[in-house]
């Protein structure tokens, strides 16, 4: 059973200002909620009898109709959880590891896909500029397919973050005038910066890149088009990991 | 000026059966239409005065309001074209080249992104199973960002297509029990099969794969999740092209 006030409370969490105020985000479906429950303690959990019987987890029981009323999905799937947004003050470990940085990625689908890619390639932390889309937007959470449970997302001032790194720390960016990623040395430690869908890496951040990379195209004769930022992230992470395999 | 009947005619082209009957697809926006016009003759072209003045191309003039009425986009961009769906009987060249095959890809966004990836990596032809999403769906066309102009898409029976190839022709597929793609030999000629979002490559087609590949994950300790099919396509094509670079 779920009250009108609860419905209103949950639906407000679609908006960033309410998520921020409450410190909570919404996750839905057996896969995403299931992955989150392995690592995160929910603030509230609403599920059908079927889900509770199947998982052995007891929580607030909702009917399919009630789930439809609180859900942000067209086809809600048995369970919704409210989870605390992880602390944004954690110390990020840059030493001996690869960290992904997003400079103004705007599309929630792209952001969700990038979080999924980071998870696949064992990149534990994504540092996001303050103008990057909000990772706790329900659209992003669902697009991560559960990877949000395993990747740390930290919003920060990218310039300050970079300035706090050791002076010779590798800062990678894919740029039109970069060097062929397939033949450049790629280290096991470094920050890999991916930029905005339309404008790429911002000018100020670009000036901090000390290892300029290029994903070469294989067009024959015609002007090259761009790659989607999630696709470019996948190719870049794949190439870094290949070197260490 | 555009008549009520024209509006109705164009809007019907959102549906596959009308596209098939008329042999036409809809493309919108300066980038997508601009790329198509370099290679394809439009059946009809509707554009604002501004677009016509900018490009020097004369066509049916529409106001912003008229464009809004015929458009499939939330924010129409100056121009819409109706283009003939390319012939599906063309002979596909398999010799000495890489060809992409899609076996039941369902999501229009994924299909559009895959066409864009093929274009980037210089793969001229994509062979689609008959249950793959329709490439001339307006959502796919827009997601290709103009790459639809440069990549041949052919719908066919994949099994028949594979059976008609020379017996030792390389048929690649990414499978859970495949061999590490980063260390396997990859040829400059071959068919690369990508499967359905949920089920992967269908059983009958899987049986035809003679080079089984795996994109290894770099998770530490936890069950690996899947990669989105467009992401897997990007990583696979990147790795094939790297070997030939």
Strand partners, B125: B152
pLDDT of amino acid B35: 95
pLDDT of amino acid A222: 64
- B125 Cβ contact list (under 8 Å, min separation 6): B92, B93, B97, B99, B100, B151, B152, B153, B154
- Pick out chain A residues at pLDDT < 50: none
How many CA atoms within 13 Å lie on the side-chain side of B241? 25
- B124 Cβ contact list (under 8 Å, min separation 6): B93, B97, B99, B118, B151, B152
pLDDT of amino acid A203: 97
User: Distance between CA A117 and CA A228 in Å, rounded?
Assistant: 14
Structure tokens at A26: 């919404």
How many CA atoms within 13 Å lie on the side-chain side of B81? 28
Strand partners, B100: B126, B192
Of B182, B224, B241, the CB nearest to A218: B241
State whether the Cα torsion B110-B38-B124-A229 is positive or negative.
negative
Contact: B150, A222; criterion CB under 8 Å = yes
pTM of the model: 0.94
List of domains in chain A: 4-84 (3.30.1330.30), 98-244 (3.40.1280.10)
B235 touches chain A (CB under 8 A): yes
Q: Write phi, then psi, for B27 (nearest 5 degrees).
A: -125, 145
Alpha helices in chain B (DSSP H): 4-12, 16-22, 30-37, 49-55, 64-70, 108-120, 138-143, 158-163, 203-206, 229-244
Neighbours of A9 (CB within 10 A): 16
Contact: A235, B230; criterion CB under 8 Å = no
pLDDT of amino acid B29: 96
- A103 Cα distance to chain centroid: 13
| Helix, strand or coil, per DSSP, at residue B26 | strand
Task: Give Dmax over CA atoms of chain A in angstroms.
Answer: 63
Q: Cα(first)–Cα(last) distance of chain B, in Å?
A: 51
Contact: B121, A218; criterion CB under 8 Å = yes
User: Distance between CA B224 and CA A120 in Å, rounded?
Assistant: 7
Strand partners, B61: B47
Q: How far apart are the CA of B6 and the nearest CA of chain A, in angstroms?
A: 33
Nearest to B181 by CA among B236, B232, B220, B245: B236
pLDDT of amino acid B200: 94
Q: Report chain A residues whose CB lies below 8 A from the CB of B116.
A: 225, 227-228, 231
B228 touches chain A (CB under 8 A): yes
- Choose, out of B37, B181, B218, the residue to mutate when testing the contact with A (most A CBs < 10 Å): B218
Q: What is the CA radius of gyration of chain A?
A: 20
Structure tokens at B19: 């596209």
C-beta of residue B19 within 8 angstroms of C-beta of residue B141 = no
Return the residue matching tokens 């999630």.
A230
Q: How far apart are the CA of A206 and the nearest CA of chain B, in angstroms?
A: 24
C-beta of residue B187 within 8 angstroms of C-beta of residue B149 = no
Of B218, B219, B231, the CB nearest to A230: B231
- Pick out chain B residues at pLDDT < 50: none
Strands of A190-195's sheet, edge to edge?
A152-156, A125-129, A98-103, A190-195, A171-180, A211-214
C-beta of residue A241 within 8 angstroms of C-beta of residue A123 = no
DSSP 8-class letter at B101: E
């Amino acid at each position: 059973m779920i009250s009108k006030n609860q419905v209103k409370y949950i639906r407000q969490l679609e908006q960033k200002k309410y998520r921020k105020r409450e410190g909570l985000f919404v996750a839905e479906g057996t896969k995403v909620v299931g992955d989150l429950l392995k690592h995160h303690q929910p603030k509230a959990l609403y599920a059908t009898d079927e889900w509770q019987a199947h998982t052995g987890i007891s929580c607030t029981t909702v009917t399919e109709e009630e789930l439809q009323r609180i859900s942000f999905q067209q086809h809600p799937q048995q369970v919704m959880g409210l989870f605390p947004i992880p602390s944004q003050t954690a110390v990020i470990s840059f030493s001996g590891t690869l960290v992904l940085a997003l400079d103004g990625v705007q599309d929630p689908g792209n952001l969700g896909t990038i979080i999924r890619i980071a998870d696949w390639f064992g990149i534990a932390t994504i540092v996001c500029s303050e103008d990057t889309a909000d990772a706790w937007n329900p659209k992003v959470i669902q697009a991560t397919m559960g990877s949000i449970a395993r990747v740390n997302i930290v919003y920060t001032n990218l310039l300050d973050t970079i300035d706090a790194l050791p002076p010779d720390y590798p800062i990678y960016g894919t740029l039109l005038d970069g060097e062929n990623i397939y033949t450049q040395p790629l280290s096991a430690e470094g920050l890999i910066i991916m930029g905005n869908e339309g404008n790429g890496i911002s000018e100020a951040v670009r000036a901090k890149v000390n290892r300029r990379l290029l994903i070469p195209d294989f067009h024959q004769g015609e002007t090259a088009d761009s790659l989607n930022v999630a696709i470019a992230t996948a190719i870049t992470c794949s190439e870094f990991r290949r070197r260490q395999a």
